[in-house]
Amino acid sequence: MSQETLAYEDALRIVLGASTRLPAEDCPTRACLGRVLATPVISDADLPPFDNSAMDGFALCGNSTVPAGIELDIEGEQAAGDGIAHARNGAWEIMTGARLPDGLDRVIPVEQTERLSSKRVRLLADVETGQNVRNAGSDVAEGENVLAAGTVLQPQHLMLLAALGVGNVSVAERPRVAVLCTGRELIDDPAQMLAPGQIRNSNGPFLAARLPLAGADVVHVETVGDDAAAFEAALRRALSAGAKVIVTSGAVSMGRYDFVPQALERLGAQTLFHKVAIRPGKPLLFAKLPGDVLLFGLPGNPIAVAVGLRFFVEPALRVMLGLSQETPRRVPLSKPYSKKPRLRFHLKSCLHIDIQGRLALEVLEGQESYRIRPLSDANAWAVVPADVDALPAGALVDVHGVGHLEFPLPCEGIA
């Protein structure tokens, strides 16, 4: 184990080196929302699958422009859902989305026509070849790569897959993660009155809610007191639930009740580092349990938990999901910022549009690791490197979304 306080970059390198890409699995399209594509989707059909009308009107044909004033016989009618029809020389009444009869190549809107009788129509405007026609394959051509590997599937992707008749896709297996919160002061039941010295457990609900948004499958959540034996038993329950990643909060510092490092040693774990030059979350611990299960021991303060999840656990999840590592955006600061040197700071921030319509970043008040309210107001993380101690207004800073699969939308109404 490294006893020294590691730079963030060195610690992250260890985390990424210990993380392994998970296999792919087939998933029904109807159940793949939020999943990560393991292989690209190649269309085996045209979309639209046939030439069809873009509006209600009359379909017709001609060698060039069909001029206004011409009168045509109405040969037939074609509604959406009708099959193949064969035209001769006249016009066909046609509905939006209906397949064009073979031999016809243009559509005039019904409002640009005059119905002379049930079988006769006069054109009130010129009609060009291809006018108001949606050609087969004009949206997607057969053989086209429509979704790349690594795409996080959203509703618009499911719309496309459904339109192409794709019933199953290959997606990355979800990393199975367990959450263990430690502390005899923690109360899980919101209806329970707090005794003196007790606090409500906020880390457990936060981790259980955010991990699925990061692409994980939470398989076990438990709160244990400051007891090494109880913690070891909880770890075994997490492993029995199939966890390949375990995220703990609390009991990793240097106090009397910080028993996690010793408990891991008794379980045969290899601690790869313990302490990183960051704020918040400096005492963060990273270990590998037998069976290549990764354990992230996060300090107990809520914002240290949020930072540990966002900047250590989520990069590991990206490896497991087959995603490349993130590239932060660079956004100018709206106000000057200064910090202590030698530590990399992770700052609760708000990305917004200023009064000139420019994108800017505001570092929020209340950066202490116990303060949850500013985190609820934040829509981004700003990162200031360890070797920087002051930045003027307008300086560019690295900006990350609240989660690795999410990038913030700017706030409104900030001057």
Residue 357 sits in a domain of what CATH number?
A: 2.40.340.10
Question: 102-126, pLDDT tens digit by residue?
Answer: 999 999 999 999 999 999 999 999 9
Q: Return d(Cα 277, Cα 260) in angstroms, integer.
A: 20
Mean pLDDT, residues 192-198: 95
User: What range defines the domain where residue 277 resides?
Assistant: 8-22+174-321
Q: In this structure, are strands 186-187 and 293-298 parallel, antiparallel, or unpaired?
A: unpaired
Q: Are residues 80 and 100 in the same domain?
A: yes
Per-residue pLDDT band at 3 (split at 50, 70, 90): low
Question: 381-409, pLDDT tens digit by residue?
Answer: 999 999 999 999 999 999 999 999 987 66
Please indicate, yes or no, if residue 411 is contained in any of the structural domains: no
378 and 344 Cβ atoms separated by less than 8 Å:
no
Whole-model pTM: value is 0.90
Q: Return d(Cα 18, Cα 10) in angstroms, integer.
A: 13
Number of domain units in the chain: 4
Given 286, 321, 356, which residue is the final one in a domain? 321
Q: What is the mean pLDDT of the chain?
A: 94
Lowest mean pLDDT among 78-87, 118-127, 251-260: 251-260
Question: 158-176, pLDDT tens digit by residue?
Answer: 999 999 999 999 999 999 9
3-state secondary structure of 261: helix
CATH of the domain at 263: 3.40.980.10
Mean pLDDT, residues 240-265: 87
pLDDT at site 368? 96
Please indicate, yes or no, if residue 258 is contained in any of the structural domains: yes
252 and 282 Cβ atoms separated by less than 8 Å:
no
336 and 388 Cβ atoms separated by less than 8 Å:
no
What are the distances in angstroms from CA 378 to CA 352, 356, 381, 411?
Answer: 11, 21, 8, 9
pLDDT at site 4? 84
Mean pLDDT, residues 98-105: 97
pLDDT at site 415? 39
Number of H helices, E strands in the chain: 8, 28
As given in the structure block, the two tokens for residue 365 are: 């008040």
Per-residue pLDDT band at 2 (split at 50, 70, 90): very low
351 and 400 Cβ atoms separated by less than 8 Å:
no
- The three-point CA angle 81-82-84 to 5° equals 130
Residue that is written with structure tokens 């050609």 in the block: 135
Q: Return d(Cα 385, Cα 341) in angstroms, integer.
A: 9
Beta bridge partners of 58: 93, 108
